[in-house]
A and B are shown apart, each in its own frame.
Chain A
Amino acid sequence: MYAALLSNRYLTSRVIPLIAVGAVALCVALVIIVVSVMSGFLDMLKASGRTLIGDVIVSSGIGGIPHYDEWLTDLRALPEVEEATPVIDTLGLLRMPYPSGPSKEIAPVQVWAIEPASFARVTAYGDKVWWRPPADEDARNAMLPDDPRLLMDESILRDGLTLSQGATGKPGIVMGMHVSVGNARQSDGSYRPRFGWFMPGEEVTLTVVPVSESGKISEPRDATFPIVNEVFSGVYDVDKSRVFIPLAQAQQLLRLDAAPLYDTTAEPDAEGNLPLLGTTPARVTKVLIRAKPGIDALVARDAVEASWDAFVAKAARRSDRLGRPPERVSILTWEQQLRDLIGPVEKEREMMRILFSIIYIVCAGLILSIFWSIVIEKTRDIGILRSVGASRLGILWIFLRYGLAIGVVGSLAGVGIAWVVVDNINLIHEAIGRDAPRAAWITTCALAAISLAMALRSLLWRGRLLPGLLWTIATVTLAVVTLALIGHRGTLIWDPSVYYFSRIPSQVDWFNAAITVGGGIVFSVIGAAIPAAKAADVDPVEALRYG
């Protein structure tokens, strides 16, 4: 009970413990802010990365998956699967509608041929088609007045969602937002056509190279598509290189469609026709699967794997038709598929967490040194407490409790600071991005003048060195802040036109915050433990005599 009384009194009647509380608060706040922003960034990255791939991704070699429509039927019947969609994934060259020097710009692209309806049910494709009229009045009000989307109607969105030009009925192409250099990202994260190059409505020529089942390369083939829309996923690699075309057109271009197979080793008949061996089935190179709500991606992957094995076994028993599915395909969850994208950021976050955790050691060292000096200063008090019957453990507990109180108060204050900063990080960022308001530097200038007057009064009139020094430090600090504010011309740290996400993540990572608070408390107690043990070892007689 006396330990509570004394540690509370030591905490509230002195300035030094408040410095320790402030140090713990700043350490905890710093770690929480950094980890929260990085966790938010990681979550945004994962969400964006997952946007266009569903929950489970099945990828085959260049030969593709024959009879995929049968397997899709099997997949859709699984209790773990909500929907599945076929995709052809290949590389191509896109001849852009705008020039690059004397010729047209050629862009290397990753072509995804899709069935738009089922693809939109498996992925968030429908939400990511960029050019569309505002969904409601709130969305309209949120757009800047020069946003081209304000003038658009539903037809452009419909064309994007169906991969077909409504006016002509032609199959269309949807490009990643940054495939074209004509899209300029703005500070609010929206886009404006650059050089007047607005892509929808223009035509591009796509060149692809068909590869046979055996890996033999054929002559390149090309086709012209009208650009019907553009898509923004939020992952730069995707938006920079991916284009979407209808599956049927891609199968024809790549010779992956169903076709009769003739026996070229036999003699032609009287009419010059070779004997027909059968029909080679249409193929795709990927199947994307969306798991049922509440089903974990790993569980869905296991179910898909079992279904694939059954499909392969069933196909092996069918000797009456051409086309055998490969025995081995890659079946990955979305996280496994994105590990190259997510892994480095996760490692970076952990590295930051570890590096910033070193601050705890600084914090513990600070508390140790503050407490050490307090114990030396309070040696006589320790002797007095021992003389009225306080035990050594009791003395130990006073200082441990004192450290605990500093850790708890400091850590909670740190959470409060972090919460305020993270919650308002975009406002703070915007404020940094603007010129400093005149009132701010006038205020700091006035405060600097007052500090200077106080410093001169302390040093010249009263002859006091310590307050004079403290006021001088305050004067210099305020003068530097004033000059910095006058010279500040707005620094946009997180430029949405560069960083891709238009807003800085502003959600506190409460799980990590709880761990950080725990760390702050533990290291505060560790810092207090050594001086506390020294206090417990104080000889009461010497303390009373010399303390």
Chain B
Amino acid sequence: MGDAAPILAAHDVHRTYRFGQVEVPVLRGASIAIGRGEWVAILGQSGSGKSTLMHLLGGLDRPDAGRGTIEFEGRTVNLGAGRSLDRYRNRDVGFVFQFYHLLPELSVLENACLPGLVGGWFGHARAAAARRRAGELLEQAGLSHRLRHRPAELSGGERQRVAIARALVNGPRVLLADEPTGNLDATTGASILDLIAAQHAEGLTVAMVTHDASVAARAQRVVQLRDGQVVDG
């Protein structure tokens, strides 16, 4: 973790999935602490529990009951009500997925400002601000000429840039990236990592899951995950 104060941490988290009668333990007491402004890569093989850990850190999922906690800025987030987790996902963290996960019916600009539209019935001023901020982020990502295009009209790299703009539009303090270059060629992948690096340079905390050591090398710190446990880092 270095000298940076932890902003996001997982303490001894367990997560078991149930498929019918079969229980599959994915995380078995994984712990990780991510410092403020740090860029951490979580490296592991397929099935090691990387994405599950990412979902837990991002409040999309909760650890098994009584078996581990997720802390954000010293506050336990996984014990709160559903609404507090919704708010945590909306304001405090931003997700970037391997397959971009853009909504096909919305334009590039609408996809990017989506988190700004979530979280209020009468948020017109907030929506306007989100549109402004999304426009700026898309301009930084070199997509100002694509604002009214649909995701289907974009390349993979462009889609991932839109996904990054969407993740950052509400000004989160942590970016959670799940295999952000996993679906891209090397050159495009590098440009995406450059974009993340630029945000990190401005003080954004980044937690990035990958199985590619060369991608993980762009991070300040690499954490190894094996069989549901952090074994190195």
Binding site for B on A (CB under 8 A): 1-2, 5-6, 9-10, 13, 380-381, 383-392, 394, 540-541, 544-545
Contact A1 B123 (CB under 8 A): yes
- Looking at chain B, what size class is its interface with the partner chain? 20 to 34
Complex Cα spacing A541 to B58, Å: 11
Q: How far is the CA of A392 from the CA of B86 in the complex (A)?
A: 9
Using Cβ atoms and an 8 Å threshold, which residues of chain A touch B124? 1
- A10 contacts B105, C-beta separation under 8 Å: yes
CB-CB under 8 A for A544 and B97, given A1-B124, A387-B60, A388-B166: yes
Q: Are A389 and B119 in contact (CB under 8 A)?
A: yes
Roughly how many angstroms separate A387 CA and B105 CA in the complex, as a whole number? 17
**Nearest chain B residue, comparing its CB with the CB of A12:** B105
The answer to whether B61 has its CB under 8 Å from any CB of chain A is yes
Interface centre among A1, A10, A380, A389 (most CB of B within 10 A): A389
Nearest CB of B to A156, in Å = 74
Query: Residues of A contacting B55 with CB < 8 Å?
Result: 541
Chain B interface residues toward A at CB < 8 A: 51, 55, 58, 60-61, 82-83, 86-91, 95, 97, 101-103, 105-106, 110, 114-115, 117-121, 123-124, 127, 166
| Chain A residues positioned under 8 Å from B82 (CB to CB) | 391-392
For B178, give the chain A residue with the smallest CB separation: A544
Q: Which are the 4 A-B pairs with shortest beta-carbon distances?
A: A389-B90, A2-B117, A388-B115, A9-B105
Kindly provide the distance from the CB of B168 to the nearest chain A CB, expressed in whole angstroms. Answer: 11
Cross-chain contact B118 with A387 (CB below 8 angstroms): no
Chain A nearest CB, measured from B110 CB (Å): 7
Note all chain A residues with C-beta closer than 8 A to B106. Answer: 5-6, 9
How many whole Å from A330's CB to the nearest CB in chain B? 63
A2 CA to B51 CA, complexed, in Å: 27
Q: How far is the CA of A540 from the CA of B83 in the complex (A)?
A: 14
Question: A541 near B91 (CB under 8 angstroms)?
Answer: no
Considering the chains assembled together, what is the distance between the CA atoms of A387 and B111 in angstroms?
Answer: 13
A387 to B88, CA, bound (A): 10
* Given A387-B89, A390-B86: A541 and B101 interface contact (C-beta under 8 Å): no
Give bound CA distance, A1 to B130, whole Å. 12
Query: Which partner residue on chain B sits nearest A9 by CB separation?
Result: B105
The interface residues of chain A lying within 8 Å CB-to-CB of B114 are 2, 385, 388
- Could you list some 5 contacts between A and B, CB below 8 A? A13-B105, A384-B101, A388-B89, A388-B115, A389-B118
Q: Are B105 and A389 in contact (CB under 8 A)?
A: no
Q: Cα distance A56–B119 when bound, in Å?
A: 65
The docked-state distance in angstroms from the alpha carbon of A454 to that of B119 is: 50
CA distance A9 to B120 in the complex (A): 19
- The complex places the Cα of A390 from the Cα of B166 at a distance, in Å, of 14
In the complex, what residue of chain B is closest to A388 when comparing beta carbons?
B115
